[in-house]
Structure 1
Amino acid sequence: MRINWKKAMGLAAAVAMLAPLAACGSDSGSNGSSSAKGGTTAVTLKVWGPQTDQDSSKGDSFLATVEKNFEKAHPEYKITWQNDVVGEDDASKTVKQDPASAADVYMFGNDQLGTLIDANAIGQLGTDAEKQVKEQNGDAAIASVTSSDGKLYGVPYTGNTWFMYYNKSKFSADDVKSLDTMLSKGKVAFQIGGPWYYTAFFTGAGAKFFGDDGMTASKGIDLGDKAADVTKYLATLMTNKNFVVDDGSTGLAGLKDGTVDAYFDGTWNAASAKEALGDNYAAAPAPSFTLDGEQVQLTPFSGTKAAAYNPNAKNPKAAAQFAAYLGSTESQKLHYTMSGVTPADKSLSSTADDPASKAQLETMSNIAVNQPTISAMNNFWDPATTFGNGLKNKDVTPSNAASKVAEFEAQLKSATK
């Protein structure tokens, strides 16, 4: 991005730190030192990312490769890189501890967006980066990095949802459209105790999280008119001999040893699922289930993983540019080639043509619902985990389902009011 010096020279460095980085790089001050007029600017960028992106056992890691590519694209900088391992799932709790000394650029799961905004630890995208995000992504991915103020924060580079891996010698492509059909033919593992997973039964049956837009905290969480029926269905699953409780590892383990024929997971375990199933490897979106005689589509939460810059960075211009570069089409293609990370960029849909990538894309495009990003959503997980444990431990039964979910709803109302 080119800087508009006529406009920028009058801006104080403090203002540049606070203002969102705008079109054509008209943000000022990278606060680095320039070796000479018209020469390169020395900057230091502290970058946090997951361990897998920094694996150099087979040569340069993905992150190191992208950093080298960025240097070639931006010869105006002489960059000192400081890379540390912080996974996307841990970004918000690590960054918010001390935003001023946290990474200049980091990767995060979009469900943490509200927390990062509240901590003033994530920078609003400038005009160029916003244009990039809107050109690369579909509506769901764009919404995943859009705050309740309508502004964009973060550049998506992969989707984040779950779907089904299955043994295609056990189930046909038609079978996997119905959970009940699958349970009549083989062993199916599911994380019934995990809120991110079992919530799909409720959202499929009409549950709403913070209103229709997922952004209105005052609306709270409404599990819907079918909440008791859904809970009874889940409790009944626990009595089915073909239903296997997945604790987060037993599903994949069962797929490997043949005691499980299907389980639900994301693209991060695609390689392991493929290795486990060999020639019988297949993937598909989550199926429907039968509720009161009608088919109800399981509706998972979805979101993205994205790159962001820290508005407290000493070199905010370079940080914002690198965050955008991490989510560029070129970098996403490289991410897929080197690490198997399914790109969010819609122009790469034909490149990522493996079964898991196709299942993720179909899930996000056709059946998933965006997971709310407002900070009020943080109050959902603890009571939801308690309820999930009740399902998993059979404390919730078909006979007490109505009273147990009523207790859960009361807890949610108290936690999210």
Structure 2
Amino acid sequence: MKKRLVSVLLTVACGATLLAGCGEKAAQETTTDTNEQTEAADTTADQAEAEEEKEEAVDPAAYDGKEVKVWVAENVVDFTNQQIENFKTEYPQYAGVTFTVEPVGEGDAAGNMITDVTSGADVYGFAQDQLTRLVTANALEEVNPDFLADVESANSAGVVEAGKVGGTLYAYPMTADNGYFLYYDKSVVTDPSTLEGIVEQCEAAGKNFYMDLTGWYQVAFFFGTGCQLTYDTDDAGNFTKCNVDYASDKGLVALKEMIELASSSSFQAGSSAGDAVNYAAIIDGTWDAATVKEVLGDNYACAKLPTFTGSDGKEYQMSGFNGCKLLGVKPQEDEDKLQICDDLAYYLTSEKVQLARFEAVQWGPANLNAQASDAVQSNEALAALSEQFAYTIPQGNYPGDYWTRSESLAGDVKGDFQKASDEDLTKALETYQADLESYAK
């Protein structure tokens, strides 16, 4: 991926010098121990390698006039432009490169890229659940091998795994803040530890409790009771196997808890604080923190998801997905341009830029050192999300049809399932599971 010509010549020259030096030493010091010669050779080789890295790809003329298109969410366009200016200062060889930053949200990036990869961005942010589609469409270059070890060690393991298909890392970790937790009005909900308690307190105060029961959120119940739903993919991103056990006793417990929640007078289906009214509790994400804080004011509080007592009398911790935002690089025919894109992606996902992005727009870092900073640790929403992540699973790759199909189940929970027998519910779960399995056949 990198320009090696200067480096190779340097290595040859250093090798010649090393042989000459060894010859002279042998003539002058015939008693030199073989181990000492080996150690001297290793030291010289290390120096040569250091010089190789120092001299590598330093010709700015190779990059002048090249154009790089970058897609990021609208609220970080200005931030990204500023960081690119910093990038050009640290990488002066790219001073002649034109970078264009355009507002394309992480949720829309995959659809736009797949529609026309050629016209798409060279570097772009996207949500991790879009990874398989992008790899299948040949819209992602694997992470530069020169950066791989550092990227994997510096970031949360779950985020790194979310960027892989078939064991290959295809994207640079950017955030670890895509998940949900509980926002609540602490003047109404004095104890947010149990779902039953929250609902009871909301009902008593005439307040609403909001939760979405479709695909991304309904797994809070199924995963909470111990069910699984994951998909295996091959190296090309094709779904090869569905691992699911919803049609089981634990699946029935999860479904019945959803039905019980939906039967409450306080329950409202939804997860967008901007659309919610008269609420004392809402299960939502960090992206709505400012909206919730404005509504609840001094009574603003956050917590992990609650536990619930299942129909079998056992206590379960609500679970869910944890997700992230990734930064991808499009494959390039021009190796010089690919080098620019890789260097930029690596820079924009570095520890200092992740921390700066948090300070600018409150995006939760994937970088472990940034996560440990005082600023991140003191953020109430991120602290609650971090606590909830201990009970969740990384969101892998799921077929697009899964999200649509899950909406039907959510509708039945509030409708036909309200008076259904356990036998009927079990049959519904069997049908649902068969449908989920069909996506990988």
C-alpha separation in 2, matches of 1:355 and 1:313: 45
Task: Name the residue aligned to 1:155.
Answer: 172
Hey, which of these two has a bigger chunk of helix by percent? Answer: 2
TM-score after normalising by structure 1: 0.83
| Structure 1 Cα separation of the partners of residues 296 and 7 of structure 2 | 59
Could you give the per-residue CA deviations for residues 71-111 of structure 1, whole angstroms, max 9, x where no partner exists?
A: 11110012212222211011111111122221100000011
Aligned residue runs from structure 1 range 359-370, under 5 A: 359-364=384-389, 366-370=390-394
- Alpha-carbon offset, residue 228 of structure 1: 2.1
Whether the aligned pair in 1 keeps the contact of 2:2 and 2:57 (CA below 8 Å) is no
> Relative to structure 1, is the Cα distance of residues 128 and 363 closer, same or farther in structure 2, using a 3 angstrom cutoff?
farther
Matching residue within 124, 130, 142 for 1:106 = 124
C-alpha contact 1:99 1:312 (8 A) present in aligned 2: no
- For structure 2, the 5+ residue unaligned runs are 10-51
SS of the residue 2:164 aligns to: coil
Among 235, 241, 245, which residue is 2:259 paired with? 235
Q: Could you tell me how far 1:355 is from its partner in structure 2?
A: 0.4
Q: CA RMSD in A?
A: 2.9
Q: Does 1:63 align with 2:80?
A: yes
- Choose from 280, 290, 309 the match for 2:309: 290
- Kept in 1: contact 2:63–2:97 (CA 8 A): no
Secondary structure of 2:319's partner?
coil
Structure 1 stretch displaced more, 259-268 or 212-221 = 212-221
8 Å contact from structure 1 (residues 203, 223) kept in 2:
no
Change beyond 3 A, Cα 1:270–1:327: same
Count of residue pairs the alignment pairs up: 379
When structure 1 is superposed on structure 2, of 163-172 and 107-116 the one drifting more is 163-172
Q: 8 Å contact 1:163–1:264 — kept in the other structure?
A: yes
Q: Residue 397 of structure 1 aligns with which residue?
A: 418
Q: Percent identity?
A: 28
Q: Secondary structure at the match of 1:385?
A: helix
Q: What is the rounded CA distance, in whole Å, between the counterparts of 1:398 and 1:332 in structure 2?
A: 50
Mapped contact 2:7–2:53 kept (Cα < 8 A): no
**Equivalent position amino acid for 1:51 in 2:** E
Summarize the Cα distance change of 1:29–1:381 in structure 2 as closer, same or farther, 3 Å threshold.
farther
Distance 1:80 1:92 in 2: 24
Q: Residue 217 of structure 1 aligns to a residue in which SS?
A: strand
Which amino acid in 2 is paired with 1:74?
A: Y
Q: Can you list the C-alpha shifts for 1:144-187, whole angstroms capped at 9, x where unaligned?
A: 1122x211121112121111111122223xx2221111112124
Distance of 1:198 and 1:158 partners within structure 2:
23
Distance in 2 (alpha carbons) for counterparts of 1:76 and 1:401? 64
Structure 1 pair 276/410, CA: closer, same or farther in 2 (3 Å)? Answer: same
Q: How does 1:319-334 map to 2 (within 5 A)?
A: 319-334=341-356
CA distance in 1, matches of 2:294, 2:386: 21
Matched, 1:274 2:318: no
Cross-structure match for 1:305: 325
* Cα distance between partner residues in 2 of 1:143 and 1:270: 27
Amino acid paired to 1:114: T
- Residue in structure 2 matched with residue 125 of structure 1 by the alignment: 143
Q: Which residue of 2 aligns with 1:16?
A: none
Larger RCO: 1 or 2 (CA < 8 Å, sep 6+): 1
Amino acid at match of 1:179: L
Whose radius of gyration is greater, 1 or 2?
2
2:244 and 2:6 mapped to 1: Cα distance?
Answer: 50
Please state how far the C-alpha of 1:217 moved relative to its aligned partner: 3.3
> 1:204 aligns to what SS in structure 2?
coil
Identify the residue that residue 209 of structure 2 maps to in structure 1: 189
1:42 equivalent in alignment to 2:68? no
* Equivalent-residue separation in structure 2 for 1:25 and 1:241 (angstroms): 66
